[in-house]
Every structure is written in C-alpha cells, then in structure tokens.
C-alpha cells in the first residue's frame, strides 16, 4: 500500500505539472505522459491504484514512433539502422542489452568475461538515451492490439520490493516484433526444473557458479567416491553447434585449468554429450567426423540416446540407462515462445509469426516481424529460415532500410504507408556455418548448403577464421577490445576460477 501511496504522490505532482504543460502547449505531453499516467485514483480516504495508460498515439508535431519488441540480434540491428531524425524509437525488452550469443559459451568457463558479450542498447542506438521521444522500457510485452496500434507491457521487477509489476501500454506508428524464441524441452519432465539453458548471460553465470561450486564441494573431506563422480559429471544434451561448442570449452577448461588448479579431483571430472541423432547435423560427413574425433580426443564422451526424463541428480534415457550428473546443460534447439503462440496474428508453418516478402505481417497494418520469432507465410512459397543470428541480423538491417525509406517517403505514420513503393523484397543468402570444438580447433563451412561446392575446413586455421570472423561481428570497439584482452589473459594466465 505504501508503494501505491508514494506512487500517487508522484502522480499528483506529475498531474499538476502536466496541467501546466497542457496550458503551455497542447502537444507537449507525449514524451512525458506515460509516467503521469501511472496514476492512482484518490477518493476521500482510500487510494486505489488503477491501470496506467502509457505512451499515447503520436501527435502531428512529433516524429512517428517505431516500437521494437525485443533487444536481440534482430531488434538491435534494426534499431542501429533506424534513422532517429525520422522516427522516435521505443524498445520494450526484459533486458537492456544485446547478447553476442556466438561467444556466450566461452563465458561459462571464464575464457571470456560476461561483460564482453553484452552490448548495452544505449550504445547500439544512442538516440534511445538522448532523444526526448525515444525510450527503452525494461518490460515484457504481454499483448498486441493491432487494430488500435497498441502494445501492452508489464515491467520486469525480478522480485524487487514491488507489490506487483506495473502494466502500461505504448502506441505505435510502426511495430517490429523481434521476440526471439525459447529453448525446446519437448515436454520432457524435469528439464525446466533441473537443467540450465544457454541463451542469456544469467544462464552462463549460473553454469559457471554451479561448475565451480561442484569442483569445490567434491574436494571437501568425507565426500563419497560416488558423489564426487556425480558432482563432477557435466552433461550436455543436444549436439548442435551450441552444445558442441560448450562441450569443447568445458573440455579445454578441464584439460588446462582443472588439472592445474583442482589437481585432487582432476580424474573425476568428465563431460558427456548426449544427442539423439548425429552431432552437428548441419555440417557434412567429413567435418562431422573430424569434430567427433577431436571431441573424443579431448575426453568428451559422446552418447547416442533420447532423454525421457530428468531428475535432480540423474537423467533417464529411453533405453533405461540412468546418467547421474552434477551439471546439466540443455541445448536441443528452439521453438516459438508462449507470447508468440498467444498473439492473434497470422502464423507461418511451425508457429512463428507469419511475414510476407517484405517482412510485414499480412492482414494487419504497420506490423513487421524479424528474427527467430518470424517465418514466411505459406503463400510466399519461401522456406522457413533457420534460427540464426545471421538471419536475424540481416533481417534487422533490411527492415531498418525499408522503414527509413518509408519514413522518407512520408509513410512513417500509422496507416500512411499503403502507397509507398517498397522496392526489393528480403532475400536471404546463407554465408556458411562455423563452430569451435575446443583445443584451438574449429569447423568452417563457407558453402550455401552442405551439398554445394565451396570452402569447408577444419583445424587450427579454421579456429583462427572463427575467432577473426566473430571478433569483427562484435558490435562495439569497446567489447572487441574486452574480448581480445580476455583471450590474451586466458592464454597467458589461464581462466579465472574465482566463484564470485
Ligand atoms: C549460445 C548460442 C550460440 C549461438 N551461436 C550462433 C552462431 O554462432 N551463429 C548464428 O548465426 N547464430 C547463433 N545463435 C543463434 C542466434 O543467437 C539467434 O538466432 C539470434 O539470437 C536470434 O535473434 P532474435 O533477435 O530473433 O532473438 P534473440 O536474440 O533471442 O532476442 C529476443 C529478444 O526478445 C526479448 N524478449 C523475449 N520475450 C519478450 C517479451 N515478452 N517482451 C519483450 N521482449 C521479449 C529477449 O529478452 C531478447 O532481447 C546462437 C544462439 C545461442 C543461444
């Protein structure tokens, strides 16, 4: 109640200043009002919180507003390319940074620091921090009313002393849905409760803490042999690039750092990679064979199996095998998240949000969707694109140019772009795939598909290409610098093993 009382005081102050502003300029409210709309209704004695309103429709003297849902690869690349002279940009996302996912696995074992892979949004698009009509809202989108051009949001409070999250809405002239995907668990019992996913920085932090905790617990006096083996058994489920890269990082960590710094338990720690089919199925036989050989050499145990259930201390496979574990990382691909399922918008095969050739959501005005959450509607005849950063990034870049073109052509406002010539449709050309496998080795396949002709390499030189390629893709010079410093520090001094 105290919280709402304070909020009401704040609202009352805001309300009086708002009325002054209203007298001064009937249009001046827009950037201001959303906080004052976090209002309370004050009756004689009782103060009742009411639903806040948020950012209303843009006024004629204001810039049109692009609302971007999500701060991942797609949303951030889009915001970077949007012209802030044409649009006010409002981003709604539960995290205020973009995660450079290709290097995330390296942070789990301390090869890189967490900050090196997180890029603040204000650096990607400075207008968000400086322009009066542009904002970042730390919130989840909970719904979209495409007819009214409004998105509904709820703040992320993460258990901080707030009675409940605040709800607000934001009107848009153009809406870009870039909400990504969520890890697939295939409904397997116990995965959500006991496994750790690898998608966000906080996942990597949890993995690092658990790994170091288990290493230290296994060293205490009186612990049984069996428990020691369980604690130090790291299991990765899913043999795609993420699962393989993480297994490679883990085996490097064990071979170099654990052997030196946890010599008492070095013979107990093991990595098992469980995959239902082939590992790295997107690579050709030769590269897959190379990866299998290298991983096995590094001590990674490859197990072909289907997980049927997960308990707090063991995994159950379909052949009845029980696999005890101390750390379980789940990386079996992604699918649409509940918010995507819940949106009343056209869908592509697989449940993603359907888009046309220009990444517009058909049958609604001014709504676009990019990245992992979107797919071409069946009528386009185009296949669903893979859930990859290179797809998301290029869609973001394409859409930024398209929206700038629309804005320059006078179609930036809601319902105003019907007569604008859109130009070329979005075309995706696959640039190839890369994956590290540990021990300074990587796979690089620069072909459009594994059947096509072109360059495909494996080994140290590929590792060098992998590192150089991703270093150039890191968004800012600041983080590029961090990454290089982290790599050099790790090479010279080993990984950081403090459990902070
Ligand atoms: C560990 C790892 C390694 C990878 N390596 C590679 C690689 O080497 N090469 C490659 O091409 N791809 C790689 N990928 C895949 C790549 O990261 C994804 O394809 C890419 O992130 C998709 O971008 P996106 O913007 O669609 O989604 P994301 O980057 O996932 O962003 C989604 C955004 O939406 C936000 N969001 C979620 N729900 C809500 C909500 N309700 N309201 C508001 N915001 C919300 C999220 O917080 C996030 O900011 C990797 C992925 C992982 C996890």
Q: What are 53-67's pLDDT values in tens digits?
A: 789 999 999 999 999
Measured from the Cα of 386, ligand 1's closest atom is 19
Residue 451 has pLDDT above 80, yes or no: no
**Residues 200 and 345 both lie in one domain:** no
**Residues 306 and 175 both lie in one domain:** no
- Please tell me the distance between residue 180's alpha carbon and the centre of ligand 1 in angstroms: 5
Tell me which residue of 99, 105, 125, 119 sits closest to 479, measured CA to CA: 119
Domain that holds residue 168: 53-180+336-408
Give the Cα separation of 196 and 248 in Å (integer): 17
**Residues 93 and 202 both lie in one domain:** no
CB of 151 closer than 8 Å to CB of 65: no
Ligand 1 mutation target, pool 140, 141, 179, most atoms within 8 A of CB:
179
**Residues 370 and 385 both lie in one domain:** yes
| Portion of the chain with pLDDT greater than 70, in percent | 89
Give the Cα separation of 239 and 234 in Å (integer): 14
Does the CB atom of residue 121 touch ligand 1 within 6 A?
no
Measured from the Cα of 94, ligand 1's closest atom is 47
Tell the residue nearest (CA) to atom 51 of ligand 1: 101
Q: What are 320-371's pLDDT values in tens digits?
A: 999 999 999 999 999 999 999 999 999 999 999 999 999 999 999 999 999 9
Q: Which three-class secondary structure state does DSSP give residue 150? A: strand
Question: What count of Cα atoms within 13 Å lies in the side-chain half-sphere of residue 150?
Answer: 13
- CATH number for the domain spanning 329: value is 3.50.50.100
Does the CB atom of residue 243 touch ligand 1 within 6 A?
no
**Residues 168 and 255 both lie in one domain:** no
Residue 202 lies in a domain: yes
**Residues 371 and 448 both lie in one domain:** no
Q: Directed axis angle between helix 477-493 and helix 460-473, to 10°?
A: 150
**Residues 171 and 195 both lie in one domain:** no
Task: Give the number of domains in the chain.
Answer: 2
Tell me which residue of 254, 255, 236 sits closest to 245, measured CA to CA: 236
Does the CB atom of residue 180 touch ligand 1 within 6 A?
yes
Mean pLDDT of 102-127: 96
Residue 18 lies in a domain: no
**Residues 124 and 270 both lie in one domain:** no
Last residue of a domain, one of 408, 423, 445: 408
Residue 22 lies in a domain: no
365 backbone dihedrals φ, ψ, rounded to 5°: -90, 140
Measured from the Cα of 95, ligand 1's closest atom is 47
Q: Which three-class secondary structure state does DSSP give residue 180? A: coil
Pick left, alpha or beta for residue 371 (phi over 0 → left; psi -120 to 50 → alpha; otherwise beta). Answer: left
Tell the residue nearest (CA) to atom 20 of ligand 1: 389
Q: Which two tokens stand for residue 101?
A: 């996912």
Residue 499 lies in a domain: no
- Please tell me the distance between residue 394's alpha carbon and the centre of ligand 1 in angstroms: 14
**Residues 265 and 345 both lie in one domain:** no
Burial class (CB in 10 A: 0-12, 13-18, 19+), 159: exposed
**Residues 445 and 455 both lie in one domain:** yes
């Amino acid at each position: 109640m105290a919280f709402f009382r304070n909020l009401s005081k704040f609202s009352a102050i805001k309300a009086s200043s708002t009325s002054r502003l209203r007298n001064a300029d009937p249009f001046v409210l827009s950037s201001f009002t959303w906080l004052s709309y976090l209002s309370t209704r004050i009756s004689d004695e009782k103060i009742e919180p009411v639903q806040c309103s948020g950012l209303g429709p843009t006024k004629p003297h204001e810039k049109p507003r692009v609302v971007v849902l999500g701060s991942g690869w797609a949303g951030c690349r889009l915001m970077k390319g949007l012209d802030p002279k044409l649009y006010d940009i409002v981003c709604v996302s539960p995290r205020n940074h973009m995660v450079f996912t290709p290097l995330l696995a390296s942070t789990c074992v301390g090869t890189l620091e967490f900050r090196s892979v997180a890029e603040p949004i204000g650096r990607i698009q400075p207008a968000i921090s400086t322009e009066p009509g542009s904002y970042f809202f730390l919130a989840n989108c909970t719904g979209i009313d495409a007819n009214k051009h409004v998105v509904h949001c709820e703040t992320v409070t993460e258990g901080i002393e707030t009675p409940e999250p605040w709800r607000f809405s934001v009107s848009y002239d153009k809406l870009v849905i870039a909400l990504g995907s969520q890890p697939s668990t295939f409904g397997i019992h116990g995965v959500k409760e006991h496994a750790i996913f690898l998608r966000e920085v906080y996942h990597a932090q949890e993995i690092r803490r658990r790994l170091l905790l288990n290493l230290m617990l296994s060293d205490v006096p009186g612990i049984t042999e069996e428990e020691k083996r369980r604690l130090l058994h790291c299991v990765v489920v899913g043999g795609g690039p993420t699962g393989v890269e993480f297994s490679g990082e883990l085996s490097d960590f064990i071979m170099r750092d654990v052997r030196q710094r946890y010599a008492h338990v070095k013979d107990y720690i093991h990595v098992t990679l469980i995959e239902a089919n082939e590992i790295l199925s997107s690579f050709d036989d030769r590269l897959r064979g190379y990866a299998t050989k290298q991983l096995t050499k590094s001590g990674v145990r490859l197990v072909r199996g289907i997980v049927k259930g997960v308990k707090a201390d063991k995994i159950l496979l379909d052949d009845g095998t029980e696999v005890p574990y101390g750390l379980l990382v789940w990386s079996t691909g992604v699918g649409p998240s509940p918010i995507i399922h819940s949106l009343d918008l056209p869908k592509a095969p697989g449940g993603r949000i359907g888009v046309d050739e220009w990444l517009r959501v058909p049958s609604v005005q001014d709504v676009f969707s990019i990245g992992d959450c979107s797919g071409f509607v069946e009528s386009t005849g185009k296949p669903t694109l893979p859930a990859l950063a290179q797809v998301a990034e290029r869609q973001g870049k394409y859409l930024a140019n398209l929206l700038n073109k629309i804005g320059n052509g006078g179609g930036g406002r809601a319902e105003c772009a019907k007569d604008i010539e859109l130009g070329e449709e979005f075309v995706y050309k696959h640039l190839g795939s890369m994956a590290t496998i540990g021990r300074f080795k990587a796979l690089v396949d620069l072909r459009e598909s594994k059947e096509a002709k072109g360059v495909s390499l494996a080994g140290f030189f590929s590792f060098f290409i992998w590192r150089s390629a991703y270093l150039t893709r890191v968004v800012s010079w600041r983080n590029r610098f961090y990454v290089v410093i982290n790599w050099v520090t790790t090479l010279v001094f080993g990984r950081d093993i403090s459990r902070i």
